[in-house]
Structure 1
Amino acid sequence: MKVMQEAPVEGKTVLMRTDYNVPLSEGQVTDASRIEMSLPTITYLIARDAKVVLLSHLGRPDGKVVEHLRLDPIASQLSELLDQPVKKFPDCIGEEVRHGVAALQSRQVAILENLRFHPEEGANDRSFAAQLAKLGEIFINDAFASLHRSHASLVGISEFLPSYAGLLMQKEIESLARLLKDPERPYIAIIGGKKARSKLSTLHELINKVDAILVGGGVAFTFLRAQGYAVGDSIIDETLLDDTRMLIKKAEEKGVSIFLPLDIAMAQAATAKAETAIYQVDDIPAGWIGLDIGPKTITAFAKEIKAARTIVWTGPMGMFEIPQFSVGTRGIADALAQTSAFSVVGGGETGEALTRLGVADIPSYISTGGGACLSLLRGRSLLALEVLRR
């Protein structure tokens, strides 16, 4: 992989792809961690008199302008963090943008408008990529969280500009490499979140690498149902039950232990005011929804975490947005705090949960990417990474 330290960036106009797909509320950034993690690359470029032009997407505008998905709040947050003005352009291509970028001075930072306002971005359109490339002389990809996307600003642009990995990208790849190449054992995976389908495909690969798997979050109910348990009104994916049984059998054959919840924190509605109760998994009543792992499960999972030497965690243990259902996620974080094992949290929702709970400093590393992290753990070849190796 070509790294930015090899690039002749001094005095050049550098296009830097970031992933500033951050949560907003009333036009304000509510979690700036992704922005903060891009700062070392930006300040490296500023220190070398580069003109820094940032590219990012935000949300899913489906190829059209959506006013509340403009990047103005991102520009304001960057200005504050960098302690210097950040110029925001009204588009990412076009004559006005070209003239504006050409007028930038050394050490100035600017950000283009949301790339996904153009359908050509998601289509990896060659002409669109060429228009972006004309704005700069060197391309730096620091958008690890988008690495699994074959978009114009991630893949196509590299056809037209010398391309390098930014400092965050390098750090992400190096951290995940420790999970893929001779990890210290025992090596366990903690799997949670809502998306059973994506987690199952990851588990089919992880089963060849890990010694044990702890399953929580919404994913656990598909596993429990596949094992014959009633799960009330908890969300399951009926189409995945056979695949889940196959996975459990495959794990048994390989000697990989799969730990499912022993008890569940449940409610009759997914709201903060709903009546809640803890039920054992063999006693779940009809009409109740599972929203977090219970105390016995936290204790059992903590025991496995304590014995581990390498840990990967992707997906929260419950609906952490509601305080009474954040207990399981906090319990796992507290268990990580008690171990010296190397631990990586696969970003996205899990990283957001730990930040919200004030425990984001506990894991060895929190990846900015959920989907990208899972794709690499599955051993997938990612085009946006391959172009940095050419």
Structure 2
Amino acid sequence: MCYRDSLSPHTLGIFSVSDIDISSKKVLLRLDLNSPIDPKSKRISDDSRIRAHAESVKLLLDRGAAVAILAHQGRPGDSDFTTLEEHGERLSKYVGQHIEYIGDIIGPHAIRTISLLKPGEAVLLENVRFLAEEMIEAPPEDQGSRIYVRRLSKLFDLYVNDAFGASHRSQPSIVGFPVVMRGAAGPLMIRELTEISRAFSEENRPRVFVLGGAKIPDTVRIIKNIASRKAADKILLTGLVSLVYHMALGTDLGPDNKSFLVSRGYDKLLEEVRATTKLGVEIVLPKDYRVLRGDVVDNTCISSLNMGGRALDIGEETIEEFSNIIRSAGAIVMRGPAGYIEDMRFRAGTEALLRSALEARARVIIGGGHLGSMIPGDYDRSRILISTGGGALLTLLSGEDLPAIEALKISAKRWW
């Protein structure tokens, strides 16, 4: 498939907000402001997504729109599930004008504030995941009937989805609004789709995916799709997902690693994991790890993990092997850190692989989250895309439809 042809707004059959007169229009703008939260201070530790979206907000305000922003932070029950008050402060700073934070979504205060919005003004509504309805995943037509979608949609002339990082979710704020009102893609969404198209044109081979992090079920599903559709020539696994794969293939990880994986239910994925290794795409696993035993950190080969300790980063041999593969790639996709980067002792693997990608001649896509914050500011923007989405990026490149795009297609046919 030629991604360059298939991901333009015209060929996708969706509208871009850049092509629409929004002067004096009330716009409901869905952003992805979800940011890492420091577990101790409870403050945002990396606001790169907020900075990326500030340009979109400023563009809409400069064109005379009145804007109400919908966004989320974390998931119910998680430590980073909190209000958007600080997000509003930072967004105001980067946009260059005050954006009022509303601690409400569909209550009287929010409805009244939205009704009084004037062109050139913006407000940020409360974390949309505070609403139970938002956590339901369902088809667009079902989501369009949610109470809060019906209530909010009546207040706006246009819905704009600029949340590429959440576009793989079929939640009401992503797919519900476009089926009941006019919808369009925002400038950041369009830019991401365009750059991904360029990176994954057929001439950029071999394609190497470097996948790590802790979102195990999502990553396993995406590996299955990537391998099934031959979207990658080689998949390098790091982080927790690499340990799950080792476990599935019979490696003795030792009592500490095994108990950790079992405590999170990852042992229930082992059959599915094994199936992904038989789909014809080479999956490369670490040969060694940096292991914490008590207060001591040692470089440990796979065969010695049974001695105990937690594997918290890839080891020296793996860094060298993976770096060589990355340097020879034509296109590189990286998502998720290789180790527990919150601890400086376990950042070396992630830093080394990122450095190899930046030094390569390949097109590089960095998939959101922590990795983007570790890229120096002087990187080559003509060759490297720091995407605002990790899961959305991999969903798209694995050949799956993005629910957000499918909903905008429905909107284009129904309301334009």
Q: TM-score, normalised by structure 1?
A: 0.88
How many angstroms does 1:366 deviate by? 1.8
Deviations 1:200-228 (Å, cap 9, x if unpaired)? 22222222122212121112223333444
Residue number among 123, 138, 146 corresponding to 2:166 in the alignment: 146
What residue number does 2:290 align with? Answer: 265
Query: 1:226 & 1:67 partners in 2: Cα distance?
Result: 30
**SS of 1:218's equivalent?**
helix
Query: 1:144 & 1:2 partners in 2: Cα distance?
Result: 15
How many angstroms does 1:183 deviate by? 5.4
**SS of 1:198's equivalent?**
helix
Residue 91 and residue 339 in structure 1: after superposition, are their counterparts in 2 closer, same or farther (change >3 A)? same
**SS of 1:292's equivalent?**
strand
- Higher alpha-carbon deviation: 191-200 or 31-40: 191-200
Look up the equivalent residue of 2:218 and give its one-letter code: S
**SS of 2:334's equivalent?**
strand
Given that residues 360 and 366 in structure 1 are in contact (C-alpha distance below 8 angstroms), is that contact kept between their aligned partners in structure 2?
A: no
Residue number among 296, 301, 316 corresponding to 1:275 in the alignment: 296
Deviations 1:335-359 (Å, cap 9, x if unpaired)? 11211200112223xxx14415757
What residue number does 1:50 align with? Answer: 65
Residue 86 and residue 188 in structure 1: after superposition, are their counterparts in 2 closer, same or farther (change >3 A)? same
**SS of 1:249's equivalent?**
coil
Query: 2:158 & 2:300 partners in 1: Cα distance?
Result: 57
**SS of 1:155's equivalent?**
helix
Residue number among 210, 213, 217 corresponding to 1:197 in the alignment: 217
Look up the equivalent residue of 1:263 and give its one-letter code: D
> Are 1:184 and 2:207 counterparts?
no
Residue number among 76, 86, 103 corresponding to 1:73 in the alignment: 86
Residue 3 and residue 328 in structure 1: after superposition, are their counterparts in 2 closer, same or farther (change >3 A)? same
> Are 1:172 and 2:192 counterparts?
yes
> Are 1:234 and 2:243 counterparts?
no
What residue number does 2:6 align with? Answer: none
How many angstroms does 1:185 deviate by? 0.7
Residue 110 and residue 243 in structure 1: after superposition, are their counterparts in 2 closer, same or farther (change >3 A)? closer
Residue number among 315, 330, 334 corresponding to 1:309 in the alignment: 330
Is there any run of 5+ residues in structure 1 with no aligned partner, and where?
none
> Are 1:89 and 2:102 counterparts?
yes
Query: 2:105 & 2:169 partners in 1: Cα distance?
Result: 19
**SS of 1:388's equivalent?**
helix
Look up the equivalent residue of 1:355 and give its one-letter code: S
Aligned pairs for 1:288-367 (under 5 A) are: 288-348=309-369, 352-356=370-374, 358=376, 361=379, 364-367=384-387
Residue 130 and residue 189 in structure 1: after superposition, are their counterparts in 2 closer, same or farther (change >3 A)? same
Residue 76 and residue 257 in structure 1: after superposition, are their counterparts in 2 closer, same or farther (change >3 A)? same
What residue number does 1:221 align with? Answer: 243
Given that residues 236 and 285 in structure 2 are in contact (C-alpha distance below 8 angstroms), is that contact kept between their aligned partners in structure 1?
A: yes
How many angstroms does 1:300 deviate by? 0.8
Given that residues 226 and 241 in structure 1 are in contact (C-alpha distance below 8 angstroms), is that contact kept between their aligned partners in structure 2?
A: yes
How many angstroms does 1:177 deviate by? 3.1
- Higher alpha-carbon deviation: 274-283 or 192-201: 192-201
Query: 1:239 & 1:106 partners in 2: Cα distance?
Result: 52
Query: 1:229 & 1:98 partners in 2: Cα distance?
Result: 57
**SS of 1:164's equivalent?**
strand
Query: 1:366 & 1:119 partners in 2: Cα distance?
Result: 31
- Higher alpha-carbon deviation: 155-164 or 325-334: 155-164
Aligned pairs for 1:80-159 (under 5 A) are: 80-123=93-136, 124=143, 125-159=145-179
What residue number does 2:28 align with? Answer: 15
Q: How many residues align?
A: 376
How many angstroms does 1:198 deviate by? 2.5
Given that residues 189 and 313 in structure 1 are in contact (C-alpha distance below 8 angstroms), is that contact kept between their aligned partners in structure 2?
A: yes
What residue number does 2:398 align with? Answer: 378
Aligned pairs for 1:22-33 (under 5 A) are: 22-25=35-38, 26=41, 28-33=43-48
How many angstroms does 1:268 deviate by? 2.2
Query: 1:100 & 1:67 partners in 2: Cα distance?
Result: 27
**SS of 2:312's equivalent?**
strand
Query: 2:216 & 2:76 partners in 1: Cα distance?
Result: 25
Query: 1:6 & 1:96 partners in 2: Cα distance?
Result: 32
Query: 1:95 & 1:368 partners in 2: Cα distance?
Result: 33
Query: 2:198 & 2:231 partners in 1: Cα distance?
Result: 12
Q: RCO (CA 8 Å, sep 6+): is it higher in 1 or 2?
A: 2
How many angstroms does 1:72 deviate by? 1.5
Given that residues 132 and 153 in structure 1 are in contact (C-alpha distance below 8 angstroms), is that contact kept between their aligned partners in structure 2?
A: no
Query: 1:286 & 1:82 partners in 2: Cα distance?
Result: 53
Residue 354 and residue 145 in structure 1: after superposition, are their counterparts in 2 closer, same or farther (change >3 A)? closer
Given that residues 70 and 128 in structure 2 are in contact (C-alpha distance below 8 angstroms), is that contact kept between their aligned partners in structure 1?
A: yes
Given that residues 16 and 55 in structure 1 are in contact (C-alpha distance below 8 angstroms), is that contact kept between their aligned partners in structure 2?
A: yes
Residue 149 and residue 224 in structure 1: after superposition, are their counterparts in 2 closer, same or farther (change >3 A)? closer
CA RMSD of aligned residues (A): 2.5
Query: 1:324 & 1:27 partners in 2: Cα distance?
Result: 23
How many angstroms does 1:10 deviate by? 1.1
Given that residues 2 and 165 in structure 1 are in contact (C-alpha distance below 8 angstroms), is that contact kept between their aligned partners in structure 2?
A: yes
Residue 158 and residue 249 in structure 1: after superposition, are their counterparts in 2 closer, same or farther (change >3 A)? closer
